[in-house]
Amino acid sequence: MSVKIKGFNKLQKKLEKISDSAKKLEEKHQVPISELLTRSFLAKHSKFKDPQELFDKSGFTINSEEDFKAIPDADWDKYISSVSDFSSWKEMLQAATAEYVKRRMGLRSL
């Protein structure tokens, strides 16, 4: 007796694509902030439309990476908690990274 499973090839191809995507994500690479803090992510979790607006409205002078690094973590976390669903910058980046990984692996519906 044999059982015929419909759609198995499609499922297998999807799993192979997920596996390939996971292998690519294992490599170290830098992700631009605009790919993490997308318009849809910010719309869902804050009142901002893009990362630049988030930085511009912060009250801090941020013209370079050095400027950003000079902001005390506690002050930046306080700002993030006041304008988003997150209690800290780290928490916001972790959530954004999780969404980024889902997108890259083709798991948008999870």
For residue 104, how many other CB atoms are within 10 A of its CB? 14
pTM: 0.72
Q: Out of 5-14, 43-52, 55-64, which region has the weakest mean confidence (pLDDT)?
A: 5-14
Cα diameter, the chain: 72
Answer yes or no: are the C-beta atoms of 48 and 42 closer than 8 Å. yes
Residues 6+ positions from 43 with CB-CB distance below 8 Å: 49
Q: How confident is the model at residue 1 (pLDDT cuts 50, 70, 90)?
A: low
Interval 71-97 mean pLDDT: 97
**Domain range summary for the chain, segments of one domain joined by +:** 29-105
Q: Which residue has the higher pLDDT, 76 or 3?
A: 76
Q: Out of 39-43, 81-85, 98-102, which region has the weakest mean confidence (pLDDT)?
A: 98-102
Tens of pLDDT, residues 8-46: 566 566 656 655 655 555 565 788 999 999 999 999 999
106 conformational bin, left if phi > 0, alpha if psi -120 to 50, beta if neither: left
